[in-house]
Amino acid sequence: MPARWVGDRVVIHAGARVGGEGFRFTPSGDGKEQVSHLERLPHVGRCVLGDDVEVGANTTIDRGSVGDTVVGPGTKIDNLVQVAHNVRIGTRCVIMAQVGIAGSTVIEDHVILAGQAGLADHLTVHRGARVAAQGGVIGDVPAGATVSGYPARSHHEVLRQAAALRRLTPLVHRLERIAHHDAHA
């Protein structure tokens, strides 16, 4: 079985790797050492790119370890993206530069992942969700949600917390003046 299957009208830019083996090792040892050797486990799945997919320069999409890694029709992937083994990406998603998607993650249809977002393994980003730039996703993202920050949470909550933090500085200065005044009274 070939390591990859590519649909119609697919564009793969220079330097991209599609269907290579992913990062899958198991430690072996004699019990005296924590790890004496890391043994590569084989990948028998494929990398499947649907119709009208675009893969940016220097992007890597690993083949599945057991099942397939799948990129759905119409999905656009920017440069320098890492898609690990067994990831399933839905239809018409947009994945921007330097995103990292760990193994066995599911990205449903119409999801947007902004630049440098990082997704942990074995989670689901549900239909129509958006992850802001540099968002660190460590759990499932609900359908239609916009998340940001680390750990990624409601973007509205992140903005409220940032605004509250900015208001703290004048309060700290005021408390310092009061403490200084009390110390000299």
CATH code of the domain covering residue 143: 2.160.10.10
> For 151-172, how does the pLDDT look when each residue is reduced to its tens digit (9 = 90+)?
999 999 999 998 988 888 888 8
Band (pLDDT 50/70/90 cuts) for residue 1 is low
Query: What average pLDDT does the segment 42-46 reach?
Result: 91
Please give the residue that has the higher pLDDT: either 80 or 31: 80
Let me know: does 60 contact 20? Beta carbons within 8 Å.
yes
Instruction: Give the model's pLDDT for residue 33.
Output: 63
Instruction: Give the model's pLDDT for residue 34.
Output: 67
85 is catalytic: yes
Let me know: does 145 contact 129? Beta carbons within 8 Å.
yes
Overall domain count for the chain = 1
Taking the C-alpha atoms of residue 13 and residue 106, their distance in angstroms, rounded to an integer, is 24
> For 114-130, how does the pLDDT look when each residue is reduced to its tens digit (9 = 90+)?
999 999 999 999 999 99
Band (pLDDT 50/70/90 cuts) for residue 30 is low
> For 87-104, how does the pLDDT look when each residue is reduced to its tens digit (9 = 90+)?
999 999 999 999 999 999
For residue 131, give the 3-state DSSP assignment: strand
Query: What average pLDDT does the segment 52-58 reach?
Result: 99
Mean pLDDT of the chain: 93
Instruction: Give the model's pLDDT for residue 103.
Output: 96
In a domain, 173, yes or no: no
In a domain, 181, yes or no: no
Taking the C-alpha atoms of residue 18 and residue 9, their distance in angstroms, rounded to an integer, is 16
Catalytic residue among 13, 43, 85, 184: 85
In a domain, 162, yes or no: no
| Domain housing 128 | 4-154
In a domain, 172, yes or no: no
Band (pLDDT 50/70/90 cuts) for residue 31 is low
